[in-house]
Structure 1
Amino acid sequence: MVSRTDIEDAIRDDLVRAEQALKAIQGGAQPPVTLEALRPVAEERGMSLESMLADRLEKQGLLEAYGEALAGRETAAPMDRRVVDFSAFERVGKAAACRIVLGDNITGSGCLIGPSLVLTAWHVIASGAPGSVDPIREPISVLLADQTRRSVLKVSHYLSPCTIAEFANQFPANDADFVDCHDVALLRLSRPDGMRLNFLRVPDVAPRLPSQANVFVLDFPKGRPMGWGVGRVDPIVGFEARVPHDSATDGGSSGAACVNTRYELVGIHQGRWALARRLVPLARFHGPVMEQVRTDVAPRFLWSLTDTLDGQLVIGRDLFFEGVAEASRPGARVRGLRVSRLDVKAGTAGLAFSAALLENVLERDPGRHVLIRLGFDQPLQDLLGQVRRRAAEAGLTLEPDVAPEGARAGDTTPEAAAGDEARRLAQALDAAVLAKGPDRLLWFFFENPAAGLTEGERIAFEAFVGAALKQPRLRMVIAGFETISTPGAEFADAGAGVGEGPAGLVVDYVGHIKRREVEILVERAGRALQLDLGDVGVRQITNRALKNLPQQNGVFDIVHSVEIVAVVRERLAEWLDDQEDRS
């Protein structure tokens, strides 16, 4: 039994909660009575506001109903209504928020929630109603914060449609109508751009949405960046599938991440609801989304070959790491990389470093990878024989090679003889690797020939590359060789090699350094060294490293990499010393 004293105490303790409960028990077409409207009446009668309201409720026989409404409303704590260190959130929001493109039209907003996962609303990517034939049928891409337009590799990681009524701009009557209809889509990008930009972490437990808690909506109204929407939620007691909020949104806002004042994901904006807007709470789809987030593991991107400031620092080679990671996956179509210079006259900068990168990455899993480096400093009269000898030196046992009649040198053309020998050699290598273990891989690194290849070397090289691509346990990185065509598919990124199709190599172009790549190096180094750089520190170090260097639209020639790295290393060391002195 609820007493009048209980009601007065509850109103006095939390006016926001009292206001929400008062709205909840009123119905009909008339505007609801508010505490603000009752306040002058209470003053005129010489009563406190809580006594005035309790008196009216008691006379109308509504004390019990009001008590139930109070009990059902969780109001926001002070922290839920205050913004602390907005700049910290803005760094993530600006980088993680993105736009969804259907065909060539921006249809809504989204947000990176992992290295390669984008969260948005199902209706943003749908061309047909729920339950229709092939509702997700148009090409989908994502326009990222840095204006990169990235293709979507897969849309079926997690899809939960909206209700048929919602798709028709109507609204279901109760929670039961929303079962398994959360209006959520999880998209996988073709590259882990979240590691390059940033992504919003999904909390382990879905945060609550107490009444009047602030939310930020990371949206793009009408497809344009216009800042973030700020508003408050107003949950309806007994109705959990959708939550009203009052942030200003517009067409193009659907699918945007909604974040609380602790900068935690709490849901996604869905659309308008009468005079309010509505969001889908994270609690409705937290489980299946977290399953995908936990498996969205990006390749390891090195900032230093030794994980220290003394080691060689790495600028702008993310595609290389992505390619190696994808090639390391069992059954992958990507069988390695082809590192090509944008300007073959600019020397070998970037090519030789690729060998060090590959060796470093593979050494971190020595039980799985075997690496053989082959150079052409000295003419190789028998390239395939050299491959066989080096494999034996690496501990692989190969059966003696016997060329069948008609396939020996002199019995047929040089191309045919080399092709047949390369096929036998690749098969023998694959079998030898399998004998070492089912998950082992054999890598070849082909170093760029300073003086070019002889005709015999070219024929043998092309034959071996073509044969090796057909073997499931052989991998390769070809550094240079720009004037020589090789068999197999060429992939613009690691994601392009996912799915059915011929095996091939990811093409990684070297020659330019972008400002953003230097910033990423500084950010990664700062995290590894536990430096409190912030955005200002990152900009300061990057500006210093690139000062007075020739550029074109923020792009610098790779010949300046030594200068850039020297300044970055020096400034990071200074920052580290200063931080240690302060501690």
Structure 2
Amino acid sequence: MDVKAEVQNRTPNYPLIAAMIIMSHVQFTEIYDRLAQTHGSDQLMVINALNIPPSDTSQKYLYALQAANEAGWLPELVRLLARTNALHANTFSPRTPAGAQLEALVSPQAGFLDAGLLPSFRRAIPRICLIRVNPSHATGTGFLIGPQVVLTAWHVIKELVEPTDPTKAQARTAKRLEVLFDFVGNENGIRVGVHDDWLVGASPAHELEQRQAWEFDPEATTEGFDSHLDFAMIFLSHPVGIERGFYPLDRNRSAQLPCQVNLYQYPGAAKLKLTTGIAIEYWPKAVKARLLHAANSTHGSSGGLVLDDLGEAVALHQSGGWSDLRQKTINGAIPTSFIATAGAVAGFDTTVIDGVEPLALLPTSKHPVFGREKFQELVLSAVAGRCRVIAVQGELQTGRSFSLEILEAQLTASEHTVVRLSARDFPQEATAAAIFLIQGCGTKPEEMGGLPSATDYHTASAAWLKDALLPHLIDALVRAAGARIMWVVIDDLDEFLPETASAHLLNLLLSQLDSIPSLRFIFLGRVLLSGLPQDTEFERLSKPTVLDVENTIKRHIVAAKFEGDIDTKSAAQILHPKNVDQCVSTLALEYCRRISHLITTGGS
């Protein structure tokens, strides 16, 4: 039987699950009997009558769990118990490890639990990913340590590094690396790309570890284990950690031994699993560069997340080795405190973000932002000068005018100035339009000076606009911008501007923006301005989806470091308006009343 099949067919740890049930007997019976009836199984009373009660009262549901598993509906029962907060994360008891293979199944009788069983650890699940290297199909596990950085074991990705420098990735290897989140339960996973320069930092495994020729001898004085930490930091294509959360590396956080540890992993590339065990000791004694533990693992578990009994990240699972002292195989992990220290010394930045960092709430008003990642990306592009004109097209209730507040939240006041003008007030005469733009950008009438008049030029009107009025307009706007970038936001573009001299002047101005570093234009409305430059960037708005709302909740939870338990999908479905005519502002008010209040008050 292959590893994947062996994991999937392993006997559940009934004693562990039974010990975790904290609801009353009456409540458990109600849930159990309802499912039993659905599946045509015996009720709890019948099962108890056919078996001798266990001497350990914490195991009173042992036979019920076995019967549910034999009938094929134990996972459904456990999921229901987890959803009703009937499972306690800290009631399981230690288990004695037994001999096994490298990257060992140190407690074969314990098996692998579905990763979502423990309510207080469910927040870990979205932060963990399956890693696959092609074409060898080598697999491992990883977890987010920053908004855009995943940590895994170096030996998982070692075939992608330079032979002469194990801390550098080979060129053009990004496409050979697969990262899959949410590969758990009934979900098929979400694939996330990696950056072209994907290896942020790395430390190779020790030579003895690479040869799998070492022992966890407590008296060993082997050198080099403190500088060979077997980790790799992978830079993703976009910052998924903003909504999934992540475990920042903390050089001051370590497992307080002895303690319970929980290992999240993709054993044999199967779906996400959880094993538990006891953290035994640090090794070698002199440097304590490896955390020895007894949580089950197998091939594919390398890079797994090790949490302590408080749900804090304390280690990166690595592999297994032989302990002469204990006469058995023991698993080893790299303390994240060591990785944090090594990363700080080497200057590895796990907080860096390349691209947009999607907003959850506006910093001042605390107004929620639903979707609008496209607009935020376009603003960053315009800041960098890659585009100069953005057109946002949408109906009145889609939140298009809210673009102004998103824009201001993304910009720093010391470097940017934002002015808002209404298309309803835009004059049709060219000189009046120039005055409207100049004064709208902050220039006082007495500071303007005289504008050239068409009557003073004996040329055609088009030539006067281009050769006389336009240069004066550009000069005045540049002076108004000063050392900052001036963002001119023209809202209320719900009707096409008449084909007048003022519209022609505006089009001439937009066509010159590539040569005016300090100007940007944003148009908001139901229609598009005619004659926009070819390099204009567009966002077409629709009303927020349920997924938009759910992502906002996730980002809010992460930003607020909220430790409570919110079913984000259900909350988003409840909040999302059933009435298609409901406007975004009403949705935002409901969000503030329900979700923001819940997070701000800590769930009370």
Tell me, yes or no, if the aligned pair for 1:370 and 1:394 is still in contact at 8 Å: no
* TM-aligned CA distance change 1:327 to 1:532, over 3 Å: same
2:441 corresponds to 1:391: yes
Give the match's secondary structure for 2:151. strand
One of 403, 411, 420 as aligned partner of 1:354: 403
| Aligned 1:257-268 pairs, distance under 5 A | 257-268=305-316
Measure, in 1, the Cα distance between the counterparts of 2:119 and 2:126.
12
Give the match's secondary structure for 2:441. helix
Once the 2 structures are TM-superposed, how far is the Cα of residue 246 of structure 1 from its aligned partner?
A: 3.3
Give the match's secondary structure for 2:401. helix
Identity %: 19
Once the 2 structures are TM-superposed, how far is the Cα of residue 205 of structure 1 from its aligned partner?
A: 0.9
Gap regions ≥5 residues in structure 1: 1-77, 491-504, 551-556
Provide the residue aligned with 1:218 in structure 2: 264
| Aligned 1:563-574 pairs, distance under 5 A | 564-571=587-594
2:569 corresponds to 1:546: no
Measure, in 1, the Cα distance between the counterparts of 2:205 and 2:504.
58
Tell me, yes or no, if the aligned pair for 1:349 and 1:558 is still in contact at 8 Å: no
Give the match's secondary structure for 1:287. helix
Give the match's secondary structure for 1:285. helix
Tell me, yes or no, if the aligned pair for 1:398 and 1:432 is still in contact at 8 Å: no
Measure, in 2, the Cα distance between the counterparts of 1:134 and 1:529.
35
Equivalent residue letter for 1:301: L
Give the match's secondary structure for 1:352. coil
| Aligned 1:330-369 pairs, distance under 5 A | 332-333=384-385, 338=390, 340-341=392-393, 349-359=398-408, 365-369=412-416
Once the 2 structures are TM-superposed, how far is the Cα of residue 371 of structure 1 from its aligned partner?
A: 1.0
Tell me, yes or no, if the aligned pair for 2:316 and 2:333 is still in contact at 8 Å: yes
One of 143, 154, 157 as aligned partner of 2:180: 143
Measure, in 1, the Cα distance between the counterparts of 2:315 and 2:532.
49
Once the 2 structures are TM-superposed, how far is the Cα of residue 207 of structure 1 from its aligned partner?
A: 0.9
Provide the residue aligned with 1:283 in structure 2: 337
Measure, in 1, the Cα distance between the counterparts of 2:283 and 2:301.
22
Provide the residue aligned with 2:143 in structure 1: 111
Tell me, yes or no, if the aligned pair for 1:206 and 1:286 is still in contact at 8 Å: no
Tell me, yes or no, if the aligned pair for 1:511 and 1:558 is still in contact at 8 Å: no
121-130 or 196-205, which moves further after superposition?
Answer: 121-130
Provide the residue aligned with 1:445 in structure 2: 489
* TM-aligned CA distance change 1:88 to 1:205, over 3 Å: farther
* TM-aligned CA distance change 1:262 to 1:467, over 3 Å: farther
One of 105, 116, 131 as aligned partner of 2:164: 131
* TM-aligned CA distance change 1:508 to 1:91, over 3 Å: farther
| Aligned 1:51-66 pairs, distance under 5 A | none
Deviation sequence 1:328-353 (CA, Å, 0-9, x none): 6xxx3556784645xx6x55622122
Once the 2 structures are TM-superposed, how far is the Cα of residue 113 of structure 1 from its aligned partner?
A: 1.9
Higher RCO by CA contacts (8 Å cutoff, separation 6 or greater)? 2
Tell me, yes or no, if the aligned pair for 2:149 and 2:234 is still in contact at 8 Å: yes
Tell me, yes or no, if the aligned pair for 1:99 and 1:142 is still in contact at 8 Å: yes
Measure, in 1, the Cα distance between the counterparts of 2:444 and 2:360.
26
Give the match's secondary structure for 2:224. helix
Provide the residue aligned with 1:228 in structure 2: 274
Equivalent residue letter for 1:373: R
* TM-aligned CA distance change 1:544 to 1:283, over 3 Å: closer
Provide the residue aligned with 2:247 in structure 1: 200
2:135 corresponds to 1:90: no
One of 228, 231, 236 as aligned partner of 1:184: 231
* TM-aligned CA distance change 1:391 to 1:539, over 3 Å: closer
Measure, in 2, the Cα distance between the counterparts of 1:134 and 1:229.
32
Tell me, yes or no, if the aligned pair for 2:148 and 2:352 is still in contact at 8 Å: no
Provide the residue aligned with 1:99 in structure 2: 130
Provide the residue aligned with 2:522 in structure 1: 477
511-520 or 392-401, which moves further after superposition?
Answer: 392-401
Measure, in 2, the Cα distance between the counterparts of 1:168 and 1:409.
85
Tell me, yes or no, if the aligned pair for 2:438 and 2:473 is still in contact at 8 Å: yes
Equivalent residue letter for 2:296: A
Measure, in 1, the Cα distance between the counterparts of 2:200 and 2:554.
30
Measure, in 2, the Cα distance between the counterparts of 1:576 and 1:131.
50
189-198 or 454-463, which moves further after superposition?
Answer: 454-463
Equivalent residue letter for 2:279: V
* TM-aligned CA distance change 1:559 to 1:270, over 3 Å: same
Deviation sequence 1:263-304 (CA, Å, 0-9, x none): 222221223446443322223321254562466698583536
Once the 2 structures are TM-superposed, how far is the Cα of residue 102 of structure 1 from its aligned partner?
A: 4.7
* TM-aligned CA distance change 1:401 to 1:149, over 3 Å: farther
**TM-score computed with the length of structure 2 as normaliser:** 0.59
Once the 2 structures are TM-superposed, how far is the Cα of residue 402 of structure 1 from its aligned partner?
A: 9.0
* TM-aligned CA distance change 1:92 to 1:453, over 3 Å: same
Measure, in 2, the Cα distance between the counterparts of 1:479 and 1:92.
39
Deviation sequence 1:428-480 (CA, Å, 0-9, x none): 75565454xxxx33222233622224566776556544543555544443435
2:405 corresponds to 1:375: no
Provide the residue aligned with 1:561 in structure 2: 584
Q: What number of residue pairs does the alignment pair up?
A: 459
